[in-house]
Amino acid sequence: MTEPPEISPSLQHGHTPEQIRERLAAPHSHSYLRDFVYGSIDGTVTTFAVVSGVAGAALTTLVALLLLGLIPLLPFIWNYLNGSPATPCTLSAVLTGLAFFSIGTVKSRFVDQSWLLAGLESLLIGGSAAALAYVVGVLLKGIAA
């Protein structure tokens, strides 16, 4: 077996309360290089953590947008693939409402709100936005024609 490398006595410190007190009482020499090195490490780690967090959040948001954004379209896709003449608007609205409510119930895990209240709040806000978009579409219908 190989022996572990010998550590220089200057790098070894005792950890008794008396030895720690002595080290804390000893005069310190200021080192700008040490401050620079530790500051660089801290800045690099922090920047990497922020960038990684943003990238992870962006990916999560994209996946959620793609999955949940498909919900209102599913009845139309189903209708198209099956060649059904029925209008899938009602089913689309119901599924979208369920998606808003479900998102709200999941949100309640992260906010101080009951799942029912959080679900209804998200349903009200999302439903209001959808209704407003529908009204704007109806009002601007003549412009595109």
Residue 87 CB contacts under 8 Å (≥ 6 apart), including other chains: 79
Section 101-121 average pLDDT: 94
pLDDT at 7: 58
Which has the closest alpha carbon to 95: 121, 118, 115, 123?
123
13-45 tens-digit pLDDT: 777 888 888 878 888 777 778 777 877 788 788
Contact present, 98 and 120 (Cβ < 8 Å): no
The dihedral through the CA atoms of 24, 27, 32, 34 has a sign that is: negative
DSSP 5: P
Which has the closest alpha carbon to 105: 126, 74, 91, 90?
126
pTM over 0.75: no
pLDDT at 116: 97
Domain borders along the chain are 15-69, 72-145
Res 114 pLDDT > 80: yes
pLDDT at 54: 79
Section 42-54 average pLDDT: 80
Res 136 pLDDT > 80: yes
